[in-house]
Amino acid sequence: MTRDELRTVTVRGVTLTVRRRGSGPDVLFIGGLGNDLTLWDPLIAETDDITAVTVDAPGIGSSSLPPRPLFMYELAAMYRELIEVLGLESATVIGYSFGGAVAQQLAIQSPEAVSRLVLCATGPGVGGFPGDPVALLEVSTPLRYYNIERLRRVTPILYGGMRAQGNGRFRAEQIARTTSPPSVLAYAYQVFALMGWSALPWLNRVRARTLIIAGDDDPIFPLGNAHLMASCIPDSTLSVRPGAGHLLVIDEAPEVGPLVSRFVHGIDPLTIQETDPEGTRR
The tens digit of pLDDT for each residue in 2-19 reads 678 999 999 999 999 999
pLDDT attached to residue 3: 73
Q: How far is the C-alpha of 172 from the C-alpha of 34, rounded, in Å?
A: 18
With DSSP H G I counted as helix, E B as strand and the rest as coil, what are the percentages for the chain, rounded to 5? Answer: 45, 20, 35
Q: pLDDT tens digits for 142-182?
A: 999 998 889 888 898 999 988 777 655 566 677 667 777 88
61: left (phi over 0), alpha (psi -120 to 50) or beta: left
Q: Is 118 helix (H, G, I), strand (E, B) or coil?
A: strand
pLDDT of residue 275: 37
Is the Cβ–Cβ distance between 246 and 159 less than 8 Å? yes
**What letter would DSSP give residue 52?**
E
Cα dist from 100 to 64, 93, 124, 180, 205, whole Å = 21, 9, 8, 23, 16
CA atoms of 126 and 128, how far apart (whole Å): 5
- Give residue 2's pLDDT: 60
Q: H/E element holding 160? A: none
pLDDT of the chain, 282 residues: tens digit per residue:
467 899 999 999 999 999 999 999 999 999 999 999 999 999 999 998 999 999 999 999 999 999 999 999 999 999 999 999 999 989 999 999 999 999 999 999 999 999 999 999 999 999 999 999 999 999 999 999 998 889 888 898 999 988 777 655 566 677 667 777 889 999 999 999 999 999 999 999 999 999 999 999 999 999 999 999 999 999 999 999 999 999 999 999 999 999 999 999 998 765 444 434 333 333
Q: Residue 178's CB: how many other CB atoms inside 10 A?
A: 16
For residue 267, the model assigns a pLDDT of 84
Q: Give the pLDDT of residue 83.
A: 97
Query: Which of 32, 38, 39, 34 minimizes the C-alpha distance to 59?
Result: 34
Q: What distance in Å separates the CA atoms of residue 14 and residue 65, rounded to the nearest whole number?
A: 7
